[in-house]
Amino acid sequence: MTKSLAHPFVMCLIVLFGVPDVASAWHDRGHRATAHIAWDAMGAPLRGRVIAVLRQHPRFETDFLSHVPGELDPADNAALGRWLLGQASIWPDLIQALDRDIQQQYNRSRWHYINRVVWLTDEDEKRLANGLDHNMATAFEPPLRRDMNLIQALKGNLAIWHDAGASDADKAVALCWILHLTGDLHQPLHTVALFSAEFFPSGDRGGNSIDVRQGDRTRNLHAVWDSLPTDMPDLAPSASTLLSIENDVVDDHAIDEWLRQHAALAARFVYTAGLKSQVLEGQADGRPGTVVLSHEYRVAAESLARRQVNLAGYRISELLR
């Protein structure tokens, strides 16, 4: 089945970003933004279904209702529902800070990424290509398992959401993962890793192993990209993003195609030739060089992040139908 995004959804997006969205990524703000965009694109019937299911979440009272902001009017069902969907989008991250028994039951650290390969140099590809041993498969075969990657887990949770025989409690947990993993899939560094025989024979963990100097502090490359939506004053889409949304198609092959596209975006906009050169040139004691990102790199990264957040939100609304 093919679903295309209609013009009214684009108008909803324009209205949505007429007011600044206050939250705190792809950390917190970005995931909440994708959920809010999805909420505004759903329409009343799907909103009602989503919230009715979410209320059956096994930890709804503890992880949702107890965190509702005091300034939010509980009688305002639309505002409450929108907030709850945002909370659901960050729930897979929130559970990482809960006690060990809860983490054992719900936390799935491997679901947040898949490591498609980007090579530091052509020589690294020659040396490592035949010896890589990590899960790059995209097919989902039931049941859901801890060792699945982002793509397999997203497909598996969608299967639960659309399964008429699944309980609402299971659907509610799956909903949280669908919201979160779709957001993760649209953050390029959740789709790839940089491989180097000398520095990253097992990959750079999606940029976590590359240090970036920003003024008087140092952060890893993954954290820089995760924080892009948080650091931007607004996430309003560009005209080209609105056009992409209007013409977007979500069908049975979409998730694999998004992965292909986002891995290509990572190779182009994250692991640029300039960044790779700094990793190589600044090396010392067998460690990769610290990177300084140019203004041009940052501008391009912010533009891409804004596009990806908006696309993810609308795609969530289609996936849940």
Average pLDDT, the chain: 92
Query: pLDDT tens digits, residue range 59-108?
Result: 999 999 999 999 999 899 999 999 999 999 999 999 999 999 999 999 99
Residue 86 belongs to what domain range?
Answer: 3-319
Please give the model's pTM, rounded to 2 decimal places. Answer: 0.91
> Which CATH number goes with the domain that contains 26?
1.10.575.10
Query: pLDDT tens digits, residue range 178-215?
Result: 999 999 999 999 999 999 999 999 999 999 999 999 99
Tell me the C-alpha distance between 126 and 112, whole Å: 28
Which string of DSSP letters, residue by residue, matches 77-121?
HHHHHHHHHHHHHHHHHHGGGS-HHHHHHH--GGGG---EEEESS
Pairing state of beta strands 116-119 and 3-4? unpaired
* 29 contact partners, CB below 8 Å, separation of at least 6: 21, 23, 229, 230
* 242 contact partners, CB below 8 Å, separation of at least 6: 10, 13, 14
Tell me the C-alpha distance between 199 and 210, whole Å: 10
DSSP E strands, the chain:
3-4, 116-119, 192-195, 211-214, 217-220, 249-250
pLDDT reported for residue 13: 53
Overall number of domains in the chain: 1
